[in-house]
């Protein structure tokens, strides 16, 4: 609906509403202003959140991967799988550069209330990854672990760190799902990792 000024302010209003909702959730969940200030500082930073996700969780969103690559904090890394089911298939993973490692060690020195950083890291490790709708990029060990554990929720979201192309089209996913059946019987991967946050479906898998 148009505002009285005649302008279509829907994008402005949506942006303001999203930020208000984030502020309210942080205030409600943390109940400590020093923690709220720290969380906001990291979330508002140009690259700290994806940098921490890649360092601690070994994956980040495709958007985060692009930010890290542009800043030379991470770079695409090509490798061929040695997993029997997909032996020789090529992947473009994402690995932190030396600059990224150094930035991870030093970027937090000027954050407000950095003494609470361990609490933020603990919160970050409560999920495996966040998919905003364009997929996720991971390190080589993350990609290989997802495949060997037959974790379809991760596998179907993994994308090329350079192009954003999904590694497995729907027909390949169907074949993999059938082959992964016996592996899942030994223990579903959801029991060995934290949740996949799917923002497109607004669900935690």
pLDDT band at 6 (very low <50, low <70, confident <90, very high): low
5 pLDDT more than 70: no
Q: What is the pLDDT of residue 72?
A: 97
102 pLDDT more than 60: yes
The predicted model scores a pTM of 0.88
- Percent of the residues in the chain that have a pLDDT greater than 90, as a whole number: 69
Tokens of 196: 């996949």
**How do residues 161-193 score in pLDDT, each as one tens digit?**
999 999 988 888 877 777 766 555 555 555 568
Q: What is the pLDDT of residue 184?
A: 53
Q: Which long-range contacts (CB under 8 A, 24 or more apart) does 172-181 make?
A: 176/85, 176/86, 176/152, 177/152, 179/85, 180/85, 180/150, 180/152
Per-chain mean pLDDT for the chain = 89
C-alpha torsion sign, points 52, 55, 57, 58:
positive
Beta bridge partners of 79: 91
- The mean pLDDT of 45-59, rounded to a whole number, is 96
Cβ contact 76:147 at 8 Å: no
**How do residues 65-74 score in pLDDT, each as one tens digit?**
999 999 999 9
Q: What is the pLDDT of residue 147?
A: 87
Q: What is the pLDDT of residue 94?
A: 97
């Amino acid at each position: 609906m148009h505002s009285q000024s005649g302008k279509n302010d829907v994008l402005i209003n949506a942006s303001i509403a999203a930020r208000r909702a984030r502020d309210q959730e942080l205030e409600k969940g943390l109940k400590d202003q020093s923690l709220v200030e720290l969380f906001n500082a990291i979330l508002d930073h140009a690259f700290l959140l994806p940098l921490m996700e890649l360092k601690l969780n070994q994956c980040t969103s495709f958007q985060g991967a692009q930010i890290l690559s542009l800043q030379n904090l991470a770079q695409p890394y090509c490798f061929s799988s040695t997993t029997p089911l997909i032996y020789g298939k090529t992947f473009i993973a994402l690995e932190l550069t030396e600059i990224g490692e150094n930035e991870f060690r030093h970027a937090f020195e000027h954050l407000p209330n950095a003494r609470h950083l361990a609490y933020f890291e603990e919160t970050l490790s409560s999920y495996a990854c966040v998919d905003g709708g364009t997929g996720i990029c991971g390190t080589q060990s993350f990609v290989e672990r997802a495949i060997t554990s037959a974790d379809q929720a991760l596998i179907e979201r993994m994308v090329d760190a350079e192009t954003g192309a999904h590694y497995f089209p729907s027909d390949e996913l169907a074949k993999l799902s059938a082959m992964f059946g016996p592996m899942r019987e030994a223990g579903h991967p959801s029991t060995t990792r934290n949740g996949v946050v799917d923002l497109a479906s607004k669900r935690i898998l």
